[in-house]
Amino acid sequence: MADNPNDNGLFIYVLGDESLAQLVPKEIGDRAVRLASLDGSALTRNMPEKVPDVVLIDAEQAVGDDSPIERLLRHYRTLPVPVIVIGKDSTVDTVVRCIKRGAEDFILFGEAKDKLPHKLLEHAQNHKLLAEVKRLSDVYEKGGRLCDMVGVSPAMQDTYATIQSIADTDATVLISGESGTGKELVARAIHTLSSRSSGRFVAVNCAAIPKDLLESELFGHEKGAFTSADKLHVGSCERADGGTLFLDEICEMNMGLQSKLLRFLQDYTFTRVGGTESIQVSVRVIAATNKDPLGEVETGTLRNDLYYRLNVVPIHVAPLRERPEDVPVLAEHYLKLMCEKYYKYFASFSPEAMRIMLSYPWPGNVRELRNTIERIVVLATEEKITPKLFPDRMRQAAMKAKVPSLDVDEALRRVENSLQSPSAGQDTEDVLPFAEVEKRTILSAIKKCSGDISKAARKLGLSRATLYRKLDKYGVR
């Protein structure tokens, strides 16, 4: 936006006579207004370095040859500034010529006193939003992706760092997070970056398989083990030998099978259903749940001993509403993917469309965002994505909420730090010690929870007593 990103004022270029400058109030809402008056020739000789929030142009200058609008847009081409044209008449020809040259708005001189303040503020806010989105895109290009995961927020950068540090160990991992946040992508990234990447990644959804068949799915069965067992079945544990076994929705597993899984995790041996032979495999186990794992332990749904066996490395994937910096880059990412899939082209999202996506709470998280973008690409015919293409419920929900602040500076700092750190190179000799990763994860969680130890423990999937012991261990209490 302006030189100081925290400056709450409005900086406006005025191209026209004094009467045009007099239309601009000294304050709009709680924002002070600063004006810089220019004429067309001055603009040609020396384009100011300071980027304005809005440009106000007299229609007589805007419609001439080599319009100042076109010169402004050429100069600030990486982030075009919004241009408002003020005219004494609004003939179709004049308005069309201004819009074609790149003007965002046209206001009649006689209506400017009433309409201009609102329009200046609206376009300035849109320009600031697009500037932040552009910076987030730059952060994404620098390092906002890990394997198939997309995100530039500080929360995602923490997740990336943990994945890179523990990927090449065999420590079990428990991933928690709401449905649709991308827990399986985290598991796949850990597998891809590990020395087991040449082995299979076998995923088992414990909630999707009938409980009486889940044991057979995990450990396999011998022919004749039960009525429908007409042949030998090799289970997921055996198929994952040499690779990674991902147990999704682990809290849906019944208590009896949890006991058998715990025994398996002790020495990685098992017996097929109906069999007698003990089979040993080499697998890395990663589990996931969309529930609070410690809460499930307290209610008796998840075995206490199994929880602690799985929770060697806890990873919590934050919901999308808690990491708004990821919304624009995910939207652009899925827009590109869907355009390729359906052979369509969309230039961009309008500022108003971006506001809807940032204000909406995304209860379905990344999965809902992806599906929304796909539906828009399938149905839309315009070149730019505008608010009318979003479902009514999304527009209404967004109207009730404010656009969250975007921590672009922190996102950029995290990415730059990760690019400079040894773990960024994925060289196993440079992986951070696990104790250091655990310490950083704990301190980051406490900071995000504003020092609330109980909340931090819950987010990490630890008991308060365990978290206090770890704080004592690292001398940070």
The CATH number linked to 356 is 1.10.8.60
Residue located via tokens 């601009």: 24
Look at 27-41, 184-198, 247-261, 348-362 and tell me which has the smallest mean pLDDT: 27-41
- Give, in order, the Cα–Cα distances in Å from 239 to each of 35, 242, 283, 382: 69, 9, 9, 48
Tokens of 231: 């042949």
Which domain, by its residues, includes 180? 170-320
| Contact in structure between 72 and 145 (CB atoms under 8 Å) | no
Q: For residue 195, is it within any domain?
A: yes
Chosen domain end from 399, 423, 449: 399
Euclidean distance between CA atoms 247 and 173, whole angstroms = 10
List for the chain the helix, strand, coil content (%; round to 5): 50, 15, 35
Note the pLDDT of residue 44.
47
Q: Output 426 or 363, whichever has higher pLDDT.
A: 363
Is 242 domain-assigned? yes
Please report which confidence band the pLDDT of residue 434 belongs to, taking 50, 70 and 90 as the band edges.
low
Longest pairwise C-alpha distance within the chain: 95
Domain assignment of residue 275, yes or no: yes
d(CA 52, CA 34): 10
> What would the mean pLDDT of 178-186 be, rounded to a whole number?
96
Clarify whether residues 67 and 187 are in a common domain: no
Q: What is the pLDDT of residue 316?
A: 95
Do residues 72 and 104 lie in contact, with contact meaning Cβ atoms separated by under 8 Å?
Answer: no
Residue 88's pLDDT is 80
- 472 in a domain, yes or no? no
- Residue of 463 and 158 predicted with greater confidence: 158
Backbone φ and ψ of 224, nearest 5°: 85, 5
Do 311 and 187 lie in one domain? The reply is yes
In whole angstroms, what is the distance from residue 320 CA to residue 326 CA? 7
Same domain, 264 and 334: no
What pLDDT is attached to residue 268?
Answer: 94
Beta-sheet strands, E only, within 60-108: 83-87, 105-108
Residue 151 domain-assigned?
A: no
The mean per-residue pLDDT over the stretch 55-71 comes to 71
Same domain, 193 and 284: yes
Per-residue pLDDT band at 426 (split at 50, 70, 90): very low
More confident residue, 411 or 185: 185
For 107-133, give the DSSP string: EEGGGHHHHHHHHHHHHHHHHHHHHHH
Q: Do residues 17 and 122 both lie within one domain? A: yes
Is the pLDDT at 302 greater than 90? The verdict is yes
Residue at 81 is within a domain? yes
Q: What is the pLDDT of residue 378?
A: 93
| Overall number of domains in the chain | 3
Query: Domain boundary residue among 117, 138, 159?
Result: 138
Weakest mean pLDDT among 50-64, 367-381, 402-416: 50-64
Q: Specify the pLDDT at position 427.
A: 41
Tokens standing for residue 48 = 């100011």
**Residue partners of 397: CB distance under 8 A and separation at least 6:** 359, 360, 361
For helices 211-219 and 255-267, the axis angle rounded to 10 degrees is 10
CATH of the domain at 246: 3.40.50.300
Mark which of 114, 138, 162 sits at the end of a domain.
Answer: 138
Indicate if 315 and 361 belong to the same structural domain: no
Residue 205, pLDDT above cutoff 60? yes
> Mean per-residue pLDDT for 110-125?
86
For the chain, how many residues are written?
477
